[in-house]
């Protein structure tokens, strides 16, 4: 076919600023100025945008630190997954062992020889930070706490928590039981994303069991209505720790603060991070899978035009008020021939802010286009041949 001899080219289709086509000489807003992030009285801390994973503030975020009861975030994550997959039922009754009953530290106050539902045990882990509830669930899921720890470490590896090693299901002090602020942010992100229904438990302020009503230890739940999780931790070695999450105006932040000197300090320092993030940054949604970003000509197909879009929601974290400085340049294959499969990659969009590249996003076909009949394909090939010959493309 004539088309076989033509070179495939890429052309720069349009430059967009906030979705509007502009020329190279278009208006350009001034850069947005952001003050230095707060300095916290903590051993390590991190603030990220939960939607994009963008790091907004960090200090010693990769330092190996004892996680204390922040360990229970992984315990609840694994149990939530077991429920989601149908391996556990929330109304299933769990036998309470002597080991679970004898656990020291923070407790749900379950009794050896009784049965407690998975639903209540999860609340005991999340709200009351019960070491007894954590061991009971670990034994139910894996047969023993030691076997459950193997699952925890495997799950940590799958989530990319490269600085984390678990030795137990509770956070009880143990040699080599460590994590990092960055890993905890990844785990919080995964909990919110993967099990949103179970994540709602983290927002509950109280849980009453066996006649004892205990408050959630996350003080921010009582002070800031935008905060809906996630977990506290404390041992003498770890200090006072808090992973918190807040959602406001479509933006969700995750703050990790480790090694403060009091319950009040971990709440205050965490609030500083969240306030800074919401004040100076915003989550900007660029595209959704339903958006048609461009329509292009298709050759040798049963349809002449094809819509291009993205395969998933595309978010950016940018300085608040800097959206006028965003520039998206679309690169599309010049010659697009059928057959085309829905989702086939046919170009890309490069997003920049003040000259710095932020994203390179594939452009994909929004629908399938079948190949045309022989005569139509010959005719399109002939047209392309002469267009190339006379440099009309």
The helix or strand, by DSSP H or E, that contains position 72, with its residue range, turns out to be helix 72-84
Asked if 80 is an active-site residue, the reply is: no
- Inter-residue long-range contacts of 215-219, CB under 8 Å, 24+ positions, other chains counted: 216/127, 217/129, 217/263, 218/242, 218/244, 218/267, 219/263, 219/264, 219/267
- Measure Cα distances from 299 to 5, 110, 285, 312, 386 in Å: 15, 70, 33, 27, 14
SS3 331: strand
The helix or strand, by DSSP H or E, that contains position 146, with its residue range, turns out to be helix 145-158
DSSP 111: -
Asked if 244 is an active-site residue, the reply is: no
Asked if 76 is an active-site residue, the reply is: no
Catalytic site residue from 76, 97, 129, 245: 129
Burial class (CB in 10 A: 0-12, 13-18, 19+), 41: middle
Structure tokens at 259: 């090694």
Within 10 angstroms of residue 3's Cβ, the number of other Cβ atoms is 19
> What whole-number distance in Å separates Cα of residue 45 and Cα of residue 65?
11
For the CA atoms of 248, 249, 254, 259, the dihedral, rounded to the nearest 10 degrees, stands at -40
Catalytic site residue from 69, 244, 246, 322: 69
- Total residues found in the chain within this entry: 393
Catalytic site residue from 72, 231, 327, 366: 72
Which strands make up the sheet holding 44-49, listed edge to edge? 55-59, 44-49, 251-260, 239-248, 227-235
Catalytic residues: 69, 72, 129
């Amino acid at each position: 076919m004539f088309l076989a001899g033509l070179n495939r080219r890429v052309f720069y289709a349009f430059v967009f600023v906030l979705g509007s086509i502009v020329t190279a000489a278009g208006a350009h807003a001034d850069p947005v100025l952001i003050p230095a992030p707060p300095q916290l009285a903590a051993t390590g801390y991190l603030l990220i945008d939960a939607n994009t994973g963008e790091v907004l503030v960090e200090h010693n975020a990769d330092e190996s630190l004892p996680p204390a009861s922040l360990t229970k975030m992984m315990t609840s994550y694994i149990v939530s997954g077991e429920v989601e997959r149908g391996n556990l039922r929330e109304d299933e009754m769990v036998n309470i062992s002597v080991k679970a009953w004898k656990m020291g530290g923070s407790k749900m106050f379950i009794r050896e020889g009784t049965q407690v539902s998975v639903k209540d045990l999860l609340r005991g882990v999340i709200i009351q930070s019960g070491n007894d509830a954590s061991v009971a669930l670990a034994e139910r899921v894996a047969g023993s706490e030691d076997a459950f720890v193997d699952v925890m470490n495997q799950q940590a590896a799958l989530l990319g928590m490269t600085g984390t090693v678990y030795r137990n299901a509770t956070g009880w002090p143990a040699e080599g039981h460590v994590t990092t602020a960055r890993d905890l942010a990844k785990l919080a992100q995964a909990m919110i994303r993967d099990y949103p229904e179970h994540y709602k438990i983290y927002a509950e302020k109280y849980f009453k069991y066996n006649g004892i009503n205990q408050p959630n230890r996350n003080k921010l739940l009582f002070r800031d209505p935008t905060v809906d999780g996630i977990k506290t931790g404390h041992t003498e070695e770890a200090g006072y720790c808090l992973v918190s999450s807040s959602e406001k105006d479509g933006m969700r932040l995750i703050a990790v603060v480790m090694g403060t000197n009091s319950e009040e300090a971990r709440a205050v320092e965490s609030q500083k991070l969240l306030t800074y993030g919401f004040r100076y940054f915003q989550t900007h949604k660029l595209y959704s899978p339903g958006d048609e970003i461009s329509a292009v000509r298709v050759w040798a197909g049963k349809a002449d035009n094809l819509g291009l879009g993205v395969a998933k929601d595309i978010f950016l974290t940018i300085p608040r008020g800097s959206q006028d400085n965003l520039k998206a340049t679309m690169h599309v294959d010049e010659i697009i021939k059928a057959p085309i499969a829905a989702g086939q990659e046919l170009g890309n969009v490069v997003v920049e802010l003040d000259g710095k590249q932020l994203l390179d996003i594939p452009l994909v076909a929004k629908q399938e286009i079948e190949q045309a009949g022989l005569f139509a394909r010959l005719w399109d090939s002939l047209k392309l041949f002469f267009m190339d010959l006379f440099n009309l493309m």
